[in-house]
């Protein structure tokens, strides 16, 4: 046996910062050649800086922007004054007849012990997914006369017309154009069916079958997502604008997720943006994940020792499979190290890689090694303090296809807790199902399914949904089913918060399927509509549980349109149903069931009389307004703040106090741009423009 190794190494040091409101105007062909980025900037960021950089801005919420930028312009963008952080937009992956009575939705239709019956009418359900069949009768009214899809945005389709504010993809905003389009293109997922199934659970009319969705008179917004976070944030902005225009409440379903799009503790940019939209009235519901039972996680509390584990690889029968992705998160202020071991099948170690560490600000290595005729490819990115939670983190991607060799991980540290997750790595950078950590030797560590929630399920404001089997009442009156799904992911989040929030039916749920799909499924029933057959099938997953809860939220919003996300989450908690399967759930909730099983009947009853929480809008809470201004200036806080106004040459031109009631008199200022600094406050200075 002989071996040689070759290193092709690239080191990258990154320091990031950003905020603007420039619209994409370069078209789909140019956009496809640009990187998708998420950028966070200071409140005083000057939009004019971006005008000559060729950076296109898709959407903005608070201080977060989606940006599309060519590689050659990225260096200049990183060094723009006021840019706080830049990160690549990471890719995304998609995670009734018996479900309706299980969730007690039928009682809501009948108005049992309610002021009236509710069907979701007047509420928008936004579905972010792939594989929509716009003409499926499940998305029509129960009379099958008119479609309930208000608008759709296919972010992949390049023929236009594009949404006004984004200039990529194709938007359909009338019944005629939606039906003429027939279906989405669904990008790398080909003609899928996941989105049609999810939408049907949330609000399908049933099209004359027994498979009616929860909020069957709600209206739909459908977005076929680009495979990254930027596309998701643009979708949220587009949906929010549509809801505001129609003056309708919006609940967004996200039956997708990943283990490396954020930090799994609710601190990443995607989570921050979702929290911001939530404070503006959008309710987000997401699947908890399908990694229950997978031995893909290790938690190690180091005491100057080592953890060893074998990396289990998925079979390479999936044409998109590249290898495995190991995500690692440590404790603030601590350092951990990782090595790869290449081993024979008899567990003899034939090669050990160099040691990779989180001790540096940022490092990236892309390399491979050759052992006999076998090549192992891997790359590692690491930092000592992730910018949003200050935790050391490392991500390892590794590819090994030989049957003669296998790969293991060895990690060591002096102290601190480190978490490791092993998930598949696809060629499109997606993939969310767990691989194995294996104990090939007696002292090695085997994985578990703890901490198996991904993102965005870990986001604070999001309603994360676990799955269980539907209850079935037999003719003799006995009830069977209702057990927890063996695939449902568990909490807590990386920072120890209790998730998921609630559980809903997610096993063999019947709903619509796209008639255009090229993927395999088992036909349950089909409906002939306008001379064409439209299918239904049963699918399992927390992807099916999430839209059930989204539909329940739509019923709650119809009963009380003023509810905010904190109200909805509290009502779901108070109304959750417990039984022999859930057992007793304490005040701290359960890491598998959340607060219990969703109970629409009680939730809607509580919602009818609930006094909604008033939340100060996200942007106005720290932002001067109006801007531009003329005579008086305000800030969105009831606190009276002392401030000083500077001309751009540094001269003090005004001293005073400001709040959101009386404001501040700026009538003495001439037209121009000024900087307002808040004295004895942690608020950042902000620019204002005065017009005369």
What Rg do the C-alpha atoms of the chain give, in angstroms? 26
Residues of the chain with CATH 3.30.70.80: 27-88
Please give the pLDDT value at position 685.
75
Please give the pLDDT value at position 319.
79
**Higher-confidence residue: 432 or 83?**
83
Please give the pLDDT value at position 52.
63
Please give the pLDDT value at position 646.
80
Distance CA 274, CA 284 (A): 8
- In 3D space, the residue among 176, 164, 182 whose CA is nearest the CA of residue 238 turns out to be 164
Distance CA 147, CA 125 (A): 14
Average pLDDT of the segment spanning 450-471: 94
Q: Is pLDDT at 48 greater than 70 in this prediction? A: no
User: CATH class for domain 294-438?
Assistant: mainly beta
Residues of the chain with CATH 2.60.120.1290: 294-438
Please give the pLDDT value at position 22.
29
Please give the pLDDT value at position 230.
83
Please give the pLDDT value at position 11.
33
Model pLDDT for residues 108-137, shown as the tens digit of each residue: 999 999 999 999 999 999 999 999 999 999
Please give the pLDDT value at position 257.
81
Q: Is pLDDT at 236 greater than 80 in this prediction? A: yes
Average pLDDT of the segment spanning 71-81: 73
Q: Residue with structure tokens 């640009």?
A: 34
The first and second tokens of residue 130, run together, are 């792939």
Q: Is pLDDT at 401 greater than 90 in this prediction? A: no
- In 3D space, the residue among 588, 593, 583 whose CA is nearest the CA of residue 542 turns out to be 593
Lowest mean pLDDT among 73-87, 224-238, 416-430, 639-653: 73-87
Please give the pLDDT value at position 90.
60
Please give the pLDDT value at position 440.
96
User: For 99-161+176-227+239-290+457-609, CATH number?
Assistant: 3.40.50.200
Please give the pLDDT value at position 256.
85
Residues of the chain with CATH 2.60.40.3080: 624-690
50 pLDDT band (50/70/90 cuts)? Answer: low
Helix, strand, coil percent values for the chain (each to nearest 5): 15, 35, 50
**Higher-confidence residue: 84 or 521?**
521
Average pLDDT of the segment spanning 424-449: 88
Lowest mean pLDDT among 67-76, 79-88, 325-334: 67-76
Please give the pLDDT value at position 471.
86
Residues of the chain with CATH 3.40.50.200: 99-161+176-227+239-290+457-609
8 pLDDT band (50/70/90 cuts)? Answer: very low
Percent above pLDDT 70 for the chain:
88
pTM: predicted TM-score of the whole model, two decimal places? 0.80
Q: Are 551 and 120 in contact (CB under 8 A)?
A: yes
Model pLDDT for residues 248-304, shown as the tens digit of each residue: 999 999 998 877 667 889 888 888 889 989 999 999 999 999 999 999 999 999 999
Distance CA 45, CA 21 (A): 10
Phi, psi of 499 (to 5 degrees): -145, 160
Q: To the nearest whole number, what is the mean pLDDT of the chain?
A: 86
Q: Is pLDDT at 60 greater than 80 in this prediction? A: no
User: CATH class for domain 624-690?
Assistant: mainly beta
Chain CA centroid to CA 312, Å: 26
Q: Are 341 and 351 in contact (CB under 8 A)?
A: yes
Average pLDDT of the segment spanning 499-526: 94
Q: Is pLDDT at 186 greater than 90 in this prediction? A: no
Q: Is pLDDT at 464 greater than 50 in this prediction? A: yes
**Higher-confidence residue: 510 or 662?**
510
Spell out the residues 6+ positions from residue 63 whose beta carbon is closer than 8 angstroms to its own. Answer: 19, 40, 41, 42, 43, 84
Parallel, antiparallel or unpaired: strands 471-473 and 337-344? unpaired
Please give the pLDDT value at position 618.
40
Model pLDDT for residues 159-180, shown as the tens digit of each residue: 889 998 888 999 999 999 999 9
**Higher-confidence residue: 88 or 446?**
446
Average pLDDT of the segment spanning 361-365: 89
Q: Are 272 and 407 in contact (CB under 8 A)?
A: no
The topology under which CATH files domain 27-88 is Alpha-Beta Plaits (3.30.70)
Please give the pLDDT value at position 650.
65
Q: Residue with structure tokens 């993102």?
A: 455
Q: Is pLDDT at 190 greater than 50 in this prediction? A: yes
Q: Is pLDDT at 487 greater than 70 in this prediction? A: yes
């Amino acid at each position: 046996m002989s071996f040689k190794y070759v290193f092709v190494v690239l080191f990258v040091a990154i320091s990031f910062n950003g905020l603007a409101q420039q619209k994409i105007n370069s078209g789909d062909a140019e956009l496809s050649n640009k990187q998708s980025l998420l950028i966070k900037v200071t409140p005083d960021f000057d939009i004019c800086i971006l005008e000559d950089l060729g950076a296109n801005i898709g959407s903005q919420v608070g201080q977060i922007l989606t940006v599309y930028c060519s590689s050659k312009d990225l260096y200049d963008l990183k060094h723009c004054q006021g840019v706080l952080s830049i990160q690549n937009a990471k890719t995304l992956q998609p995670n009734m007849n018996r479900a309706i009575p299980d969730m007690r939705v039928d009682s809501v239709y009948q108005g049992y012990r309610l002021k009236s019956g509710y069907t979701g009418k007047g509420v928008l359900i936004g579905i972010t997914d792939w594989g929509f069949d716009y003409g499926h009768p499940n998305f029509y009214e129960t009379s099958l006369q008119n479609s309930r899809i208000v608008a759709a945005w296919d972010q992949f389709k390049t023929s236009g017309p594009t949404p006004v504010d984004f200039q990529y993809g194709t938007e359909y905003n009338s019944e005629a154009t939606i039906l003429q389009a027939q279906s989405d293109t669904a990008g790398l997922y080909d003609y899928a069916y996941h989105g049609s199934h999810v939408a049907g659970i949330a609000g399908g009319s049933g099209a004359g079958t027994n498979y009616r969705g929860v909020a069957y008179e709600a209206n739909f917004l459908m977005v076929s997502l680009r495979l990254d976070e930027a596309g998701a944030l643009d979708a949220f902005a587009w949906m929010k604008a549509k809801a505001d225009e129609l003056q309708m409440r919006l609940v967004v379903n996200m039956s997708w997720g990943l283990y490396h799009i954020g930090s799994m503790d609710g601190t990443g940019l995607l989570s921050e943006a979702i929290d911001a939209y939530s404070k503006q009235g959008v309710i987000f519901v997401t699947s908890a994940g399908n990694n229950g039972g997978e031995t893909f996680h290790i938690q190690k509390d180091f005491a100057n020792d080592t953890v060893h584990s074998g990396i289990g690889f998925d079979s390479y029968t999936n044409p998109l499979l590249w290898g495995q992705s190991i995500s690692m998160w440590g404790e603030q202020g601590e350092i951990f190290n990782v090595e790869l071991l290449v081993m024979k099948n008899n567990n003899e170690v034939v090669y050990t890689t160099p040691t990779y560490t989180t001790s540096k600000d940022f490092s990236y290595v892309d390399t491979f090694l050759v052992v006999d005729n076998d090549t192992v490819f891997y790359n590692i990115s690491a930092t000592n303090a992730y910018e949003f939670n200050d935790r050391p983190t490392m991500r390892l991607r590794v590819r090994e296809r030989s049957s003669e060799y296998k790969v293991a991980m060895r990690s060591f540290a002096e102290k601190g807790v480190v978490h490791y997750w092993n998930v598949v790595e696809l060629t499109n950078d997606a993939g969310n199902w767990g691989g194995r950590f294996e104990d090939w030797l007696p002292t090695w560590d085997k994985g578990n399914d703890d901490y198996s929630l991904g993102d965005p399920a870990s986001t604070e404001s999001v309603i994360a949904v676990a799955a269980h089997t539907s209850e079935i009442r037999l003719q003799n009156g006995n009830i069977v089913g209702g057990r927890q799904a063996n695939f449902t992911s568990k909490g807590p989040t990386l920072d120890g918060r209790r998730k998921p929030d609630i559980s809903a039916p997610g096993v063999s749920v019947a709903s619509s399927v796209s008639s255009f799909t090229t993927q395999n499924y088992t036909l349950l029933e089909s409906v002939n509509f306008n001379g064409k057959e439209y299918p239904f099938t049963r699918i399992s997953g927390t992807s099916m549980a999430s839209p059930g809860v989204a539909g329940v939220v739509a019923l709650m919003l119809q009963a009380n349109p003023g509810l905010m996300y904190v109200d909805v989450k509290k009502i779901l908690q108070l109304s959750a149903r417990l039984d022999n399967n859930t057992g007793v759930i304490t005040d701290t909730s359960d890491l598998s069931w959340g607060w219990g099983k969703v109970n629409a009947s009680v939730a809607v009853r509580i919602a009818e009389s609930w006094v909604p929480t008033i939340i100060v809008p996200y942007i106005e809470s720290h932002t001067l307004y109006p801007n531009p201004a003329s005579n008086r200036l305000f800030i969105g806080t009831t606190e009276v703040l002392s401030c000083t106004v500077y001309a751009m040459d540094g001269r003090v031109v005004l001293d005073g106090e400001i709040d959101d009631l009386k404001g501040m008199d700026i009538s003495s200022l001439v037209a121009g741009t000024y900087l307002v600094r808040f004295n004895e406050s942690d608020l950042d200075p902000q620019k204002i423009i005065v017009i005369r």
